[in-house]
Chains A and B, each alone.
Chain A
Amino acid sequence: MKQKYTQTILIIVAAAIFYVFIKTLIFLNVLSPYWQLVLDQSLIVTIGALGLSLIYGFTGQFSLGHAAFYGIGAYTAGAISKTLGHGSLLWFIIAIVAGTLAAALIALLIGLPILRLRSDYLGIATLGFGIIVKVGMDNANKVLPVLGGATGMSGLTTVANFEIIFIFFLIAILLLKNLIYSKYGRAFISIREDEIAADAMGIDTTRYKTMAFALGCGLAGLAGSLYAHRYPFLHPSSFEFLKSFDFLLIVVLGGLGSISGTIVTAVGWAFLLEGLRFVLGEQFIDFRGVIYALILVITILMRPQGLFSGKELLFMKPPRLKTPTNREEGSHAGLRN
C-alpha cells in the first residue's frame, strides 16, 4: 500500500520536472510552436494508446478499430463545443466528458455481445466498425451539417493547451497503473494469459473483457475529445483504419503489457512521424509508409517482445503483491496449523 503512494508521488514529481523542462524550452525558444503542437499531439496519442494497451496489451483482446473510438470522441466533443461551447471552459469539460462517455458506451454495446464468445471475433467486429464510422464521418453532414462530412469539420476553438493535455495525460497514466496493479488488473492479465484458466479461477471473463474494452475505448474517446480542442479542424482521414493500425503498432512495439513501453513508444512515434516529414520533405512524404514497415520489421527482429517486453520503468513497477507476502505472518500461520 505504502509503496503505491510513494510511486504516485514519484510520478507526480517526475511530471513536475518534465513540465518545468518543457516550459524552459519554450521560454528559451528552443521549442517552436510547431513542435509544441507535435508534443501535445504526442501526449494525446499516448492517452489513446494507453487505452489500447489496456485492451490488447493487458487483457489480450485484439481490436482493429481503436481510431474509430478516438474519432467518436473527437466528433462528439467537437460538435458540442462548436455548437454550444464557443470556447467556454465549462462546455469544454462537458464536451470532454461526453466524448469519453460516447466512445465508452458504444464500446460497451459492441463488446457485450461479442466478448461473450471466447474466440477472436472482436478484431473482425472492430475492423468492420472502423469502416462504418469512417463512412459515417464522410457522410455525417447529410444528417448533421455541423459535423462537416468528407471535407472535415472546421471552426473549432482551441481551448486545450499543453497544461490541460498534460494533466489528462497524467490522469490517464495513474488511472491505468492503479487499475493494472489492482485485483481487476490481475483478472485482465489472467484472461490474456489463458482465458479458460481464468474462468476456472472464478473470474467472470466476459465482464472483465467488456470492462477493459469499454475503459480502453473511453481513453481513446478522451484522447479524441482533447484532439478536437487542440486543433481547429477534424477530418475523417485522421480516424481511419491506418490510424487504428498506428495505435496497434505503438502498443506492440512498446511491448505488450507494459505501460512504460506504450508511453515511450507513443511519444516517440508522434515525433518520428513529424521528424520524417522534415527529413523526407513533402514530396517524399508517402515514403513514411516504407519506413514504418522497416521500423516494425527491425524492432520485431531485434526485440520480438517489443521495446519493454512487459517490463516497466522504475516509477511504474508493480507494487509488491498485496496478497500476503509477509514471511513472518506466513510462518506463524504455518506453525499454528
Chain B
Amino acid sequence: MLAVDNIQVFYGAIQALHGISFEVKEGEIVTLIGANGAGKSTTLRTISGLLRPKSGTVKFDGMDITRVPAHKIVKMGLAHVPEGRKIFPDLTVRENLIMGAYTRTDRTETAVTLEHVFQRFPRLKEREKQFAGTLSGGEQQMLAMGRGLMCKPKLLILDEPSMGLSPILVEDIFKIIKEINQLGTTILLVEQNAFMALQIAHRAYVLETGKVMLAGSAAELREDPKVRSAYLGDVVDIA
C-alpha cells in the first residue's frame, strides 16, 4: 500500500534523512521507532506531502506521490495525524471533526462517519460543543485521531499518539488503534513508547539518525537485544 524508497530529506543544509526505505502492506500496523531526532516525524511529513525529499520516491496505492501536494494526498485516502496534535483550538470539537472531512463531498456518508467517530470516542460526543483548545491533553489526542478518521482514510499515519498521556490513557489509545486497524484501516505508527507499539504492530522499523538500522516483525524486534536495551529500557547488559 505504501512504499518508501531511499528518501533523502534536508532542512536547509542539514540532512535529516539519509536514504530511508520501508513499506507498509494493506491491513498492517507498521511502527517506526527510534530516539528523539532520529527522523521519524520527518519521514511522516515527507510521506504526506508536507516536505519534499531531495531524492527517492514515495508510492501510495501504486501511484507515485513524491511530488503530489499534501491536499491531494489526503484525497487519495492517506490521513496524517501530526505530532503535537495540531487541533484547531478556537473551533469546537464538532467543527474540528467536520474539518477532517473537508475533502469529502458526500454529506450523508460523512454523517455516518461522524457518528462512528463519536461511538469510538464517547468522550468527544460529550464535549461536542466545547472549544477544542480547552480539552485535556488526552481528549485533544482523541480529537486529533477522530479528525484523522473523518476522511475515511485507507492509510492512517499517527505521530506519537501516546505523547503526554497517562498510562491508562495510553493503553486506551493503543487499544483503539488496534480496533481501527481490525476494521480495515492500515496504520503507520510512530512511537516513543516502543514497548506498546511493538505489542500492537505487525512489523517495525528502527530508525537511527536518519537511517533504518533494523527491520523485522514486531515479535522479532521485541526479543532483539539491541532493541531491548535501547528502546525497551531493558537492563540485560548489566544483569
Which A residues lie at the B interface, using CB under 8 A?
183, 186-187, 189-190, 193-194, 196-205, 257, 310, 321-326, 329-331, 333-334, 336-337
Contact = CB atoms under 8 A, between A and B. Distances in A.
B119 interface: yes
Contact of B88 (A197, A205, A321, A330): A197
A217 B176 CA distance: 47
Contacts of A203: 71, 102
A78 B79 CA distance: 51
B149 to A, nearest CB: 12
A143 to B, nearest CB: 40
Interface of B: 48-50, 69-75, 79-82, 86-91, 94-95, 98-103, 107-108, 110-112, 114-116, 119, 147, 151
Nearest first, the 4 closest Cβ-Cβ pairs linking A and B are A202-B74, A324-B111, A202-B103, A197-B86
Contacts of B108: 324, 329, 333
Contacts of B95: 186, 321
A286 B137 CA distance: 51
A194 B116 CA distance: 25
Nearest to A208: B71
Given A197-B88, A200-B86, A333 B71 contact: no
A193 B88 contact: yes
A324 B90 contact: no
Given A323-B107, A333-B108, A190 B74 contact: no
Contacts of B73: 202
B87 A197 contact: yes
B86 A334 contact: no
B110 A196 contact: no
Contact of B90 (A183, A310, A337): A310
Contacts of A330: 111, 114-115
B91 A193 contact: yes
Given A189-B91, A329-B111, A334-B115, A202 B71 contact: yes
Given A201-B74, A202-B71, A321-B95, A196 B116 contact: no
Contacts of B79: 200
Contacts of A186: 95, 98-99, 102
Nearest to B90: A193
Nearest to A322: B107
A187 B195 CA distance: 38
Contacts of A322: 107
A254 B2 CA distance: 48
A202 B80 CA distance: 10
B115 A333 contact: yes
Given A331-B115, A337-B116, A193 B107 contact: no
A337 B102 contact: no
A193 B82 contact: no
Given A202-B71, A202-B151, A204-B71, A324 B88 contact: no
A333 B91 contact: no
B107 A200 contact: no
Contact of B70 (A190, A194, A200, A331): A200
Nearest to A118: B50
Contacts of B112: 333-334, 336-337
A289 B70 CA distance: 46
